[in-house]
Amino acid sequence: MSEQYDNEVSLHYAAYRPPLHQQILAAALAEDYAEYKVACGVDIGCGTGLSTQALKPYCVQVFGIDPSAAMLEQASEAAGITYLQGTGEDIALPDGSVDIVTFAGSLSYAKSSALVQELVRVCRPNATLVVYDFEVLLRDVMVSLGILETPVPSSYDHAINFHGCAQLHETKVRQEQLTLEMTSAQLAHVLFSSSRRYQQLIARFGAHNTFTTVAQALSHKGDSHPIKVDIYYSTYQPSV
């Protein structure tokens, strides 16, 4: 049953992803950054490549790096994007060759002194580093469906960045909130893309046609659903 849950969750995850990576990068970078299209970008902890694809409009070539072969197998191929299995502590690129590096919800797992040293090695002197993350606020939606979620203790920090790192100069730190409009089907896909919520919804509505049942229940509340999202982003440059 666990494997079935995992497969279903993966399908819902792939079916609809809010364009949050694109929106956060647009907020974090200068308005004219995309116009110049830098030569080389690196996305560390790229997972299935959604954040790598969001970085591509800003670069001629992008490298998505992740330690998980299974994640990289699910990444969509695209011109100008190369996926590499590995970590940010050992980037297979020449010294001073990288113009921009992004961490989309991955720094919490990757942060180390070895990572910083490797970033200093591969980055050009004027390179930009963007650390960002987001949290889609779905508690009220679950309550409206008759499910009261119990907060799960976690040491995960959405706002983690390189603050205090002598080798990197901090240029921007922001925490903001935005609102996404979703259809009932889109919102249902987002709910079902979490293993924990998937099982809660199965327990609440039964295992038969659960997605359809939930989507219909959401539709009864309206055609469009404003969903709040907390976003976090920080930018850095190598210290000179």
Q: How do residues 127-171 score in pLDDT, each as one tens digit?
A: 999 999 999 999 999 999 999 988 888 888 999 999 999 999 999
Give the model's confidence band at 1: pLDDT under 50 very low, under 70 low, under 90 confident, else very high. Answer: very low
**SS (HEC) of the chain:** CHHHHHHHHHHHHHHCCCCHHHHHHHHHCCCCHHHHCEEEEEEECCCCCHHHHHHHHHEEEEEEEECCHHHHHCCCCCCCEEEEECCCCCCCCCCCCEEEEEEECCHHHHCCHHHHHHHHHHEEEEEEEEEEEEEECCHHHHHHCCCCCCCCCCCCCCCCCCCCCCCEEEEEEEEEEEEEEEEHHHHHHHHHCCHHHHHHHHHHHCCCCHHHHHHHHHHCCCCEEEEEEEEEEEEEEECC
Phi, psi of 115 (to 5 degrees): -60, -45
Residue with the bigger pLDDT between 8 and 193: it is: 193
pLDDT digits (tens, 9 = 90+) for 109-124: 999 999 999 999 999 9
* pTM score: 0.91
Q: Which pLDDT value is given to residue 101?
A: 99
Alpha carbon 44 to its chain's center? 11
What is the pLDDT at residue 155? Answer: 85
**pLDDT category, 76, cuts 50, 70, 90?**
confident
* Polymer length of the chain: 240
pLDDT at position 32: 83
Higher pLDDT, 32 or 66: 66
**Is residue 35 over pLDDT 90?**
no
What's residue 4's pLDDT?
54
Confidence of residue 8 (pLDDT cuts 50, 70, 90): confident
pLDDT of residue 115: 98
We find that the CATH architecture of domain 2-238 is 3-Layer(aba) Sandwich (3.40)
Under a CB-based contact definition with an 8 Å cutoff, are residues 41 and 103 in contact? no
d(CA 188, CA 217): 10
Q: What is the mean pLDDT of the chain?
A: 94
Instruction: Give the C-alpha separation, 157 to 136, whole Å.
Output: 14
Over range 56-71, report the average pLDDT.
95
Q: Would you state the pLDDT for residue 31? A: 84
CB atoms closer than 10 angstroms to residue 113: 10
For 201-222, the pLDDT digits (tens) are 999 999 999 999 999 999 999 9
Higher pLDDT, 17 or 116: 116
Q: Is the pLDDT of residue 226 over 80?
A: yes
By the 8 A CB rule, do 136 and 108 touch? no
pLDDT of 3 above 60: no
